[in-house]
Amino acid sequence: MKDRRTLAWVVALAMAAALTQLLVWWLKPPPKPVAMVGPPRASYELDNFTMRAFGQDGKLAFTMSAPHLARREGNDSLYINAPHYLLFSKNGAAWQGTSQYAWISADNNVVKLIGKVDMLRPPAGKISEAEIHTADATVWTQDKRMATAAPSVIQEPGSILRGTGMKADFDTRTLELLADVHATLTPRTH
């Protein structure tokens, strides 16, 4: 008799558990659809590419060409090996440059030039040629500015300036060394 009661309880509990599980499945709200805004973006890689990036004002902010570009899934920023680039001021004057690597933000407003950075401003009218040699610089393409905390060298005809840290404003053609500045000036010949 005792075995029958135990068996009855076990069967009743099993039926109650099954009924409870069925009620949970039945009363559970349907899954929400996946919210998707725009087409999905995949990761990709490009070899031997040239890119033209425009600012919010619709003007060309910079161009870049390199042997390799990678964009990782879920991240809209770009990772570039051995880039050659042109950074433009508002009046259209350009700095030509190279670096070991570059990172570009998703909105093209920030470009990080990673490793050794060499830049050249060709002469234009009354503006003389200038060179910048530094490392690990950040460029804000909308504001036309650049900064680095690394040792930097600025060369112009008749002068070589060395220092630690540098700021540049491409529109005003201002280059500023921040600390430990040393200058070598050569006399001009007429």
The CATH number for 165's domain is 2.60.450.10
Residue 20 pLDDT exceeds 70: yes
Q: What is the pLDDT of residues 36-95, one digit of tens each?
A: 565 555 688 899 999 998 877 788 889 999 999 998 777 788 999 999 999 988 777 789
pTM of the model: 0.73
54 assigned to some structural domain: yes
Q: What's the chain's length in residues?
A: 190
What pLDDT score was predicted for residue 190? Answer: 61
Residue 35 has pLDDT above 80, yes or no: no
**Structural contact between residues 79 and 72, judged by C-beta atoms closer than 8 angstroms:** yes
Give the chain's domain count.
2
- Nearest Cα to Cα of residue 97 among 80, 76, 75, 77: 80
Residue 120 pLDDT > 90, yes or no?
yes
Whether 110 is covered by a domain: the verdict is yes
Cα separation, 100 vs 136, whole angstroms: 9
pLDDT of 134: 96
Nearest to 175 by CA among 123, 99, 107, 119: 119
CA–CA distance, 97 with 147 (Å, rounded to integer): 15
Please return the burial class of 83, using the count of CB atoms within 10 Å of its CB with bins 0-12, 13-18 and 19+: buried
Rounded to the nearest angstrom, the gap between the alpha carbon of residue 155 and the centroid of all alpha carbons in its chain is: 28
Evaluated on CA atoms 37, 38, 40, 43, the torsion sign reads: negative
The residues with which 64 forms a beta bridge, in sequence order, are 51, 85
Residue 119 lies in a domain: yes
Q: State which residues form the domain around 12.
A: 1-29
Q: Which amino acid is at 91?
A: N
